[in-house]
Chain A
Amino acid sequence: MSYQPHKGFFILLLLLLFGAGSIGCRNLEQRPVMKIGYMNCNSEAETMARFKPLTAYLSEQLGIDFEVVPVDTQDFEERFAAGEFAFGHSNSLLYIMLKETQQAQLIATEKRGQYGARTAGAIISKKGSGITTLEDLKGKRMLYGPQLAPSGYLAQYDLMLQVGLDPEVDLAYYAIPHGSFKHEKVVYGVYFGEYDVAAAPALDLELMIAEGRVTADDFNIIAQSEIIPYCTFSAARSVPNDLVVKFRKALLSLTPETTVDYNGERIRVLDSAWITGFDQLTDGDYDPIRRMAKNANMPPYQEF
């Protein structure tokens, strides 16, 4: 009795070979991989949680496998210059630094809070403290946000210089809180009376009021800066223009209803990133930050 292979066996074999071949082809057609550097606000873990869904959306829209790179604010310019990531999401002062030193290309500006794609800095004191004008700041204890924060440090430093007050000389003492959630710590520093005045970003005050942690009547707004662009997406000069245009288009077409498949879940992209949308501003819209940085002798115009 000789063994006769069944016809079905050959068909199955052919299917398996075909399947293996198609998998091989797919491997050959791998999508390009690019990196996006995201400036850490509070922690790497928070950055990853906020921006991974947005990055997945951009990958889906552009057909590129984007990877999230969490970056410390102080390291951002150096790592961008070293080509560690082609796209960057940073605060607006960092964008100016990247633009001036690396010829970065402006993509889009993030919208969050009442000012939309813009924000402002404020100097606050506690209601009832008697500190109500910039002149009252002399000899007081002040809390600032981190040094490269446009609306938590630069704007307030500039406001003081504009009226002839030198924060390095005219304050009794000033400090920058450690760790994450620095802007909130700055507000609480005044709220609990540890400091007389603080440099508070308008957005953080707004969020804290919206969440009921403080009220608008708790503070005097001693001074407020002009409005300046908020966090910004930019690209390295080596990124082709058509890719920049596609990237921008993907961001500008985001609506609160836009979702993405991420880790087996359908997630709202903007909600997960704490963003309400994106606007296309011009580089000229960033000129107020340039003026502030020059006045405060801050990067990228710092001179020693």
Chain B
Amino acid sequence: MRDRFDKICLLAIVVTLIAIVAFASGFVRSDKNRVGDERGPAVERAIQEQVRANFLLETFEPVEQLKEKREYAAALLKVQELEKSYPGEPHLQILRGSILVEQGALTEGIARYAAAVRVNGDYVDANSRLNRRTEITRLVEDSLPGIKSSLEADPNPTYKKALKTLYYLQSRLAGGCE
């Protein structure tokens, strides 16, 4: 009886040990897998940026489409609607700015571009998918002479503010500090 009891105990110990080893090795393997999957912070950051850019470009695509069709009023209303879901999103300011400039609301449009760039520098970063350097450069180059001459003819605060904002955009394009 005692021999059988000893055998059962021994068997139980062996089974427990095997289970422990198997369990532990499972952890090690999963840890190894995790190590294998681990990405550096730079990659994580790039992925996040990619996901964010994709999200913005896809979500706000209807606005771009309306703008391309020159349906500016409809595009602005869509911007207004999206702003309810994404308040404070600088991409909406970029879109709003581009629509306003196309419609001739220059000073208001310039202000919107600057507001977006202040929050997200990707719009003047040549390496970003959100990059709008060409568009912003054209805005600055085309608007500066007109705003300057308007200011000379009529030194009013609206033009002064627009000029200051254009200089800010110019500085950001040049990579200058704010």
Contacts and interface: CB of A to CB of B under 8 A. Distances in A.
Interface residues of A, number: 25
A212 B82 CA distance: 11
Contacts, number: 68
B4 interface: no
Contact of A226 (B80, B81, B104, B158): B104
A209 interface: yes
Contacts of A224: 71-74
Which of B76, B77, B111 neighbours the largest number of chain A CB atoms within 10 Å of its CB?
B77
A115 B81 contact: no
Main secondary structure of the interface of B (DSSP, over half): helix
Given A216-B80, A221-B77, A227 B71 contact: no
A226 B103 CA distance: 7
> Contact residue range for chain B?
20 to 34
Contacts of B84: 209-210, 212
B63 to A, nearest CB: 10
B81 A215 contact: yes
Contacts of A42: none
Contacts of A205: 73, 77
B110 to A, nearest CB: 11
Contacts of A122: 73
B80 A114 contact: yes
Interface string B132-143: 000000000000
Interface of B: 71-74, 76-81, 83-84, 96, 100, 103-105, 107-108, 111, 154, 156-158
15 contacts: A114-B76, A114-B79, A116-B105, A120-B103, A206-B76, A206-B77, A210-B83, A215-B81, A216-B74, A216-B80, A216-B81, A224-B71, A227-B105, A280-B157, A281-B158
